[in-house]
Amino acid sequence: MFAAIKNRDLGTLRSLLSSHHSSTTTSADQPQLSTSAGSAGNSSSYLSKRPRIIDLNERDLEGNTPLLFAVSLGNVDIVETLLKDRRVNVNAQDLESGWTALHRALYNGALSLSLTILRLRKDCDLSIRDKEGNTCLFLLNSTIDQIKPNQSRERVELEDEDEGSDDERVSDRRSGGVDKPKRELPPATSVWTWGSNSNYILGHQNSDDRAYPERVDFTTSQRNHPNSVSLHTLSEHDPPVKSVVFSKYHSMIVTPHRIYASGFGPGGRLGLGHEETTLRPTVVKGFSGSVRSVALGPDHSVLVTEQGEVWTWGSNRFGQLGYATDVVGTEAAPELSPREVIALKRNRVLEAAASKMHTAVFTDSGTIYSWGTNVGQLGYTQPINTTQLIPKKITSFPQQTLLSITCTPSSTLVLTTTHEVHIFSNFTSSRVLFPFSPSTSLHHHPSQKPLNFHTPHSQKQKPPYIRKIVGGNHLYAGLTSGGDVFLWSPPAPEGVGGEEFWQQRVFPMKSPRRVWMGRGGHLRARDVAIGIDGNLIIGTEGGRVFVGVRRKEGKAGKGGAGGAGEGLFKWNS
């Protein structure tokens, strides 16, 4: 059969298929004659030697079935003839890469073949994944050169960064000025949310959960006002979205001049001047200046303006607002509207981070300030559980230009311009080190043999480094320059009791674990976030979004995970 396909002998192929229909029995130990795809030989002589029953899904020496071999040759008539026989397995995968006939046709750009397969075989399974975890449609997407906003500019910046020595790069970053922009995502034009809506954080008109992404209409109130559109108010009707920030009980949509809050209202975390629960995103008022960024703890919110001012609101139970509030009973009263942190007035703050128990910020001079209830995460020595109401400078850390800051309830994490990651926990600070070199346990199933990795890059290419950090649910994620994602958890605070979290068992800080590998440009992670349940969401350079659902600890302990979704997380696109 392989010889007939190779010689494009349609008549012989049809005779083989026809004789297979008429054959009824064959001896169990009768030898089967198979010709490899690469063999020579005449198809008619092969026909005369054929056994009474032919395996329509037999494999050649390279692991291909007749259908897979025919698709590789690109002969539509041969493929169509095979597909019309229902005993030909259209979902058979090759042994090398796990590709089906549709995988192979789409990757080769053979659209006519692909349409033939879909038209003739309704049993063709589009959800089958190859050995790298790619469906046939995802494989097709990876072959299309997609131009994204700012792509050319970002490539030039990255290429320029690779020029020169390591010393020059470090020197430039230390002296290049604090306002040098980070490699940020371009503004979005719409917001889509899905998942659990039990705390009203999705921003839709009801509290129903969403199984699929649904667009959030957060500018309805502006558009409902007649005659309100002008040149000066146009951006209010369809504003560019800088970011969307979620916490356990509320969420915020950040635009250049406004923030929109929705979620669980008690405690004042929404900043709307009341404690009512709000389903639809509502404009937060009461602050001045353009919006730079927003950080959310579970019970309070922090706003940083472009002018470097810091505004906070919500619960002040742990002193996390940066100022004293009235006492009601035995607890501090919440702040229902934005209020400026006056103690930081003389500083220009660039970014903030918020957790249940504290808040931390850094300034344009590289100074870090923190406040809240101290369990070792504030960066300075105090008796445990001391409440620091007013922002206090961390003097134990060398002053240097920083790129980012994030936190968990028991720790604070910063990323420097030299791409070092430092953590404050248990009243000490330390540097987090990453195993950047490939590890077989991270990329392969235990039954597979390790592969030799060869990277045909220029000798001048710099080693990978961490370019973004995020925190959440007692976890940290580090996004590398190569599009990989590492996870780790800070150690449990000493002296406060309580059991160890699962995150600290699975992702110990002494050995951050790679949970995503950016295999190829289209699978490089471009952004990452951590959900309140420890799940991950990753956006790739190819424009795809993957949600990683954590596997049970029994499976998670057996090995790491790569982009294929094996090991610690199960990935869905």
Q: Is the pLDDT of residue 532 over 90?
A: no
Beta pairing partners, 254:
243, 259
Cα–Cα distance for residue pair 377/42, rounded to 1 Å = 77
Residue 390 domain-assigned (yes or no): no
∠ Cα 152 158 162 (to 5°): 140
Amino acid 24: pLDDT: 40
Cα–Cα distance for residue pair 566/440, rounded to 1 Å = 12
Residue 573 domain-assigned (yes or no): no
- CB-side exposure of 373: number of CA atoms within 13 Å? 14
- Of 527, 538, 543, nearest to 563 by C-alpha is 538
For residues 209-229, average pLDDT: 74
Per-residue pLDDT reduced to its tens digit, 38-66: 444 454 454 455 455 678 899 988 889 99
Q: Name the least confident of 122-131, 151-160, 335-344, 560-569.
A: 151-160
Token pair of 557, please? 């302990």
Per-residue pLDDT reduced to its tens digit, 424-478: 999 999 999 998 865 433 433 333 343 343 444 444 567 899 999 999 888 999 9
Q: Is the pLDDT of residue 297 over 80?
A: yes
Pairing of β 525-530 and β 536-540: antiparallel
Q: Domains in the chain: how many in total?
A: 1
Amino acid 567: pLDDT: 66
Residue 76 domain-assigned (yes or no): yes
Cα–Cα distance for residue pair 310/361, rounded to 1 Å = 9
C-alpha distances in angstroms, 351 versus 304, 340, 369, 553?
Answer: 6, 15, 11, 35
Cα–Cα distance for residue pair 12/6, rounded to 1 Å = 11
Amino acid 201: pLDDT: 95
Amino acid 478: pLDDT: 96
Per-residue pLDDT reduced to its tens digit, 491-502: 877 765 556 678
CB 562 within 8 A of CB 516: yes
- The winner for highest mean pLDDT among 17-21, 39-43, 502-506, 545-549 is 545-549
User: Is the full-model pTM beyond 0.85?
Assistant: no
Residue 65 domain-assigned (yes or no): yes
Token pair of 27, please? 């001896």
Hey, which bits of 227-290 come out as E strands?
243-246, 250-254, 259-263, 278-283
133: left (phi over 0), alpha (psi -120 to 50) or beta: left
For residues 367-385, average pLDDT: 95
Amino acid 571: pLDDT: 85
Q: What is the DSSP letter of 523?
A: G
Per-residue pLDDT reduced to its tens digit, 67-104: 999 999 988 899 999 999 899 999 999 998 999 999 99
Per-residue pLDDT reduced to its tens digit, 149-178: 444 444 434 444 444 444 444 444 444 444
Q: What is the DSSP letter of 333?
A: P
Q: Scanning the structure block, which residue is given the tokens 């030039």?
A: 156
CB 199 within 8 A of CB 276: no
Cα–Cα distance for residue pair 516/484, rounded to 1 Å = 5
Structural domain harbouring 44? 2-142
Amino acid 432: pLDDT: 94
∠ Cα 499 500 501 (to 5°): 115
CATH number for the domain harbouring residue 89:
1.25.40.20
Amino acid 446: pLDDT: 34
Is 162 or 251 the better-scoring residue by pLDDT?
251
For residues 514-520, average pLDDT: 84
